[in-house]
Amino acid sequence: MLPETTLQQASLVADRLLNRIKRDSFLCGESERIFVTVSIGYAACPDDADAGELLIKRAEHGVDIAKTKGKSKVCSYND
């Protein structure tokens, strides 16, 4: 949750987070490095919903859309 954040600001934060995760690898065990992919969905209040539960459901819908588009995507509820 990012209080008082517009859809455009949320998109920028999500893109920055995605790019940061994409460029790093993580140590798994003593020597194996793995890369992580993420699917990020976002929604904003009051643009997409005016209640917490509905807002979360719409952000989750954004995650579902991102997953259908492939690895390492960011999507809004409206995409």
pLDDT in the model for residue 51: 83
Taking the CA atoms of 39, 44, 48 and 54 in sequence, report the sign of the dihedral they define.
Answer: positive
In terms of residue numbers, what domain contains 63? 7-76
Asked whether residue 19 is assigned to any structural domain, the reply reads: yes
Domain count, the chain: 1
Asked whether residue 15 is assigned to any structural domain, the reply reads: yes
Closest CA to 73 of 48, 45, 35, 42: 42
pLDDT digits (tens, 9 = 90+) for 30-48: 889 999 899 999 998 888 8
Q: Are 78 and 63 in contact (CB under 8 A)?
A: no
Single pTM value for the model: 0.82
Asked whether residue 26 is assigned to any structural domain, the reply reads: yes
Asked whether residue 2 is assigned to any structural domain, the reply reads: no
